[in-house]
Amino acid sequence: MQTVPQATSTINHGLTAEALFALGDRPCCELIDGSIVHLPPTGALHGKAELQLGRLIADFAENQHLGWVLVGEVGIITRRNPDRVRGADAVLVARSQSATLPEGFLDFGPAAVFEIASANDRWRDVQDKLDEYFAIGVGQVWMVDPKRRQVTIYTGPTTGERFDAADRIAGSGILEGLTLDVARLFPA
């Protein structure tokens, strides 16, 4: 998960989600209340955890015919007027939520969001993202912390269960039937 670091630059006050999408692929950023906020690139541990988690969740979703797993700072519109677009490391969009994937940003809460902690994350920013995700109907948010080798699965903005590297996660909700050894997400 990338959140707004303290020394982040912002541009383009008053942008909408559609205007941001029309700008095309750009360096990592989010739209916060109509302003583009640039975020620094992620580190190696973040990238490895994102790849592993995306691969494991995608394999499960495909085998269960659940929907689509999307990775790479997937844009999710979390608020309008002024617009907010958050970038999630990975999401699971259930087939029941959408018959096809939209061309632009997701304008609904995906069934699950997966965020990888970055070194520059501040708890207040993480909490803001959790609040926004659950306000738009996200079913669960997995917060993966490569440095601590932990996963916390939130089912509400302040309701979460933490798992350490030695633990095994038994999925719930849309991920019912998934079993995942936490250690598989982190390099040895």
Domain assignment of residue 2, yes or no: no
Of 18-27, 79-88, 178-187, where does mean pLDDT reach its minimum?
18-27
Tens digit of each residue's pLDDT (9 = 90 or more) over 117-160: 887 777 778 889 999 999 999 999 999 999 899 999 999 999 99
According to the model, what pLDDT value does residue 7 have? 37
Domain assignment of residue 63, yes or no: yes
Domain assignment of residue 91, yes or no: yes
Give the pairing of strands 168-170 and 67-79.
unpaired
Domain assignment of residue 5, yes or no: no
Of 22-26, 30-34, 77-81, 177-181, where does mean pLDDT reach its minimum?
22-26
Domain assignment of residue 160, yes or no: yes
Task: Please tell me the total count of domains within the chain.
Answer: 1
Q: 13: pLDDT confidence band, cut at 50, 70 and 90?
A: low
According to the model, what pLDDT value does residue 42 have? 81
Q: Please, which residues have CB within 8 angstroms of residue 22's CB and are 6 or more apart in sequence?
A: none
According to the model, what pLDDT value does residue 6 have? 39
Domain assignment of residue 1, yes or no: no
Which structure tokens are listed for 98?
């959408």
According to the model, what pLDDT value does residue 178 have? 97
Q: What are the φ and ψ backbone dihedral angles of 137, each rounded to 5 degrees?
A: 95, 15
Distance CA 4, CA 181 (A): 30
Domain that holds residue 55: 10-185
According to the model, what pLDDT value does residue 34 have? 76
The rounded radius of gyration (Å) of the Cα atoms in the chain is 16
Domain assignment of residue 92, yes or no: yes
| pTM to 2 decimal places | 0.85
According to the model, what pLDDT value does residue 4 have? 42
Distance CA 87, CA 73 (A): 4
Distance of CA 166 to the CA centre of its chain: 23
Work out the number of other CB atoms within 10 angstroms of the CB of residue 26: 9
Of all residues in the chain, the percent with pLDDT exceeding 90 is: 59
Distance CA 118, CA 83 (A): 24
According to the model, what pLDDT value does residue 12 have? 54
Q: 103: pLDDT confidence band, cut at 50, 70 and 90?
A: confident
Q: What is the CATH number of the domain that holds 81?
A: 3.90.1570.10
Domain assignment of residue 25, yes or no: yes
